[in-house]
Structure 1
Amino acid sequence: MTSLHEPPLFAALKDAGRILVAGAGGGFDVYAGLPLAFALTGLGKSVHLANLSFSALDLIDADAWYEPNLAAITPATRGHDGYFPERTLARWLAAQSMDATVYAFPRTGVRPLRDAYRNLVRRLGIDAIVLVDGGTDILMRGDEAGVGTPEEDMTSLAAVAGVDVPVRLVACVGFGVDAYHGVCHAHVLENLAALDRDGAYLGALTIPSASREALLYVDAVAHAQRHTPMRPSIVNGQIAAAVRGEFGDVRFTDRTRGSELFVNPLMAMYFTVDLAGLARRLLYLDRLADTDTQYEVRAVIEWFRRGVRRRERRSIPH
């Protein structure tokens, strides 16, 4: 039985001792999990960070690889100097005297990623996984008017759906940022309502702007922007601005030139669901299970989208 005084997200993780917070969609998604990771660490949990990586992992040291699809990135790991979110985060963590290892998964299909997760779970003794999406397109089931950029998110979702740990959750933060990629946010809310009817929606909670978790997160994002000036995270830049209480067309990088942002308090909220419940609603989940490459994942999604009757786009009427 859940209660208003204890967020279901933290109730679900109460008995977990070793938690993996993992970026589902690549890039800087692992940063979107930092406030949650800091809060869990503050509760005495052992928290580890991982990310589906867009980095040039073929350039890293051979001894960083635990296996072909799992690498441990530290502040000293060699790699591309212009874009390496996992190492940038590791260096920021080291400066805060925190555990400075960030695990990285290369972009593959579901089968090798599932195996890499299973091996990391065994290696670290993980008893809970929280997949984090910067944005909300991981909540798309496939028949929406627009599904954003689903390849990496759905690869991660399908992979972890096949990993046996006691608790598996998905947390999304940055409501609204996927509008740029065609997501209809009325469909996001419709999907959350359906998950609630299934008993799989764990509710929403705001990152308080004056909290230690928020201050550390904002600092980490600012550090990443300074050290990745050519490709700073647009998603985390907007989330951090929302956490600071900013509103509207907030500018923090030339990458958003020509588009109008709508930073608002909803972007600073985690929407959390049970991972198995979300995976069951993914209409093409069974077709993803045996994919080996991102090309195969992309082909599955494109094939499914060509044949499905899509829900009509609608506006939120407020």
Structure 2
Amino acid sequence: MFSLLEPPFFTRLRDARRILVAGAGGGFDVYAGVPLALALRAAGKEVHLANLSFSDLYGLDLDVWVDHDVAAIRPDTTIRGDYFPERALARWLALKDLPDTVYAFPQTGVRPLRAAYRALLEHLGGVDAIVLVDGGTDILMRGDEHGLGTPEEDMASLAAVSGLDEVPVRLVACLGFGVDSYHGVSHSLVLENLAALDRDGGYLGTFSLPRESREGRLFLDAVEHGRRATPDHPSIVQGSVAAAVRGDFGDVRFTERTGDSELFINPLMALYFCVDAPVLARHNLYLDRLENTALMRQISSVIEEFRDALPRQRPPRAYPH
């Protein structure tokens, strides 16, 4: 039973003692989980962070690997290149005297990614809940929309985690409503999908990330630290969310990477949209076809084949208000 006094997302996690918060779509997605991890730790829960990584993990030293396809990234972990969001986050966590290991998964298909999740769960001694976090909302697309955003990594994570039936609670939290417009996502269709999930008992509502909360202040600090750590490739998604949390509005400039685009920073970007992962997986029209994929490029091929066979796509719709 839910109550207006507590967001359903946190009600679902109330009895969980050990929680894994994992970035679904790679890059800086795990940063969207930082406020949740902070709030859950403050509630007395043991929380671990993980991320599907865009970094060159296979260049890491052998002692970094917890298991096949699971790396434990710490503040002193070395890697080729300077793009390493997981280490940037680990270093920020260390600066704040917080647990500073961020687990990282390489980009694979669903079958090895699910095996990697299971290996991590065994390493952690099991968890009561997994929260997938998405920077943006394209993980909510079911497959027949005109634009899907960048679905491969999100769908790999969703398929992998939704199949972990041994974990009692599996949720998805999206932060950054609107940022996927650049990749063709119609957010009217996102809302339509959320309504369908609600009818099926899978929508867990929204809540905001307040600037004046401890979680909000530390999120802004973490995003700024991450921007300085990757000056040539700062996160547009987390930068947009941070701008919204600060109360900025409209075409706000925070990186040269958006120089050719007109942004629409607004308060909706600072809202978490939360759903049940298994219900979301059931609503996806092609997720079952990804089960036997071993490589990320196979996921791309399956999605392309599915969409080529669609008799029609749901056209984008303008938000009417």
TM-score bin (small chain): over 0.9
In the alignment, which of 200, 205, 214 is matched to residue 203 of structure 1?
A: 205
The 1-side partners of 2:71 and 2:280 are apart by: 27
**Is structure 2 residue 139 aligned with structure 1 residue 138?**
yes
Matched length: 318
> 1:122: which partner in 2?
122
TM-superposed deviation, 1:68: 2.1
> 1:153: which partner in 2?
154
Identity of aligned residues (%): 66
**Is structure 2 residue 316 aligned with structure 1 residue 313?**
yes
> Secondary structure of the equivalent of 2:131?
strand
The 1-side partners of 2:228 and 2:294 are apart by: 35
Aligned ranges for residues 17-96 of structure 1 at < 5 Å? 17-96=17-96
TM-superposed deviation, 1:121: 1.4
The 2-side partners of 1:32 and 1:233 are apart by: 11
In the alignment, which of 253, 257, 264 is matched to residue 262 of structure 1?
A: 264
TM-superposed deviation, 1:183: 0.2
> 1:277: which partner in 2?
279
> 2:224: which partner in 1?
222
5+ long unaligned stretches in structure 2: none
Residue type at the aligned position of 2:277:
L
The 1-side partners of 2:147 and 2:229 are apart by: 33
5+ long unaligned stretches in structure 1: none
CA contact (8 A) 2:66 2:120 kept: no
1:70-112 per-position Cα deviation (integer Å, ceiling 9, x unaligned)? 0000011111341000001000000000000000000000000
In the alignment, which of 246, 251, 255 is matched to residue 249 of structure 1?
A: 251
The 1-side partners of 2:81 and 2:295 are apart by: 26
> Secondary structure of the equivalent of 1:302?
helix
> Secondary structure of the equivalent of 1:143?
coil
1:126-184 per-position Cα deviation (integer Å, ceiling 9, x unaligned)? 11000000000000000001000000000000000111201000000100000000000
CA contact (8 A) 2:66 2:123 kept: no
The 2-side partners of 1:213 and 1:286 are apart by: 36
Give RMSD over aligned pairs. Answer: 0.7
Residue type at the aligned position of 1:285:
L
> Secondary structure of the equivalent of 1:222?
helix
Moved more, 162-171 or 77-86: 77-86
Residue type at the aligned position of 1:315:
A
Residue type at the aligned position of 1:98:
L
> 1:171: which partner in 2?
173
The 2-side partners of 1:85 and 1:61 are apart by: 17
> Secondary structure of the equivalent of 1:33?
helix
Write out the 4+ residue segments of structure 1 that deviate beyond 3 Å after TM superposition.
none
Aligned ranges for residues 287-302 of structure 1 at < 5 Å? 287-302=289-304
Residue type at the aligned position of 1:200:
G
The 1-side partners of 2:67 and 2:10 are apart by: 32
TM-score (norm. length: structure 1): 0.99
The 1-side partners of 2:288 and 2:97 are apart by: 43
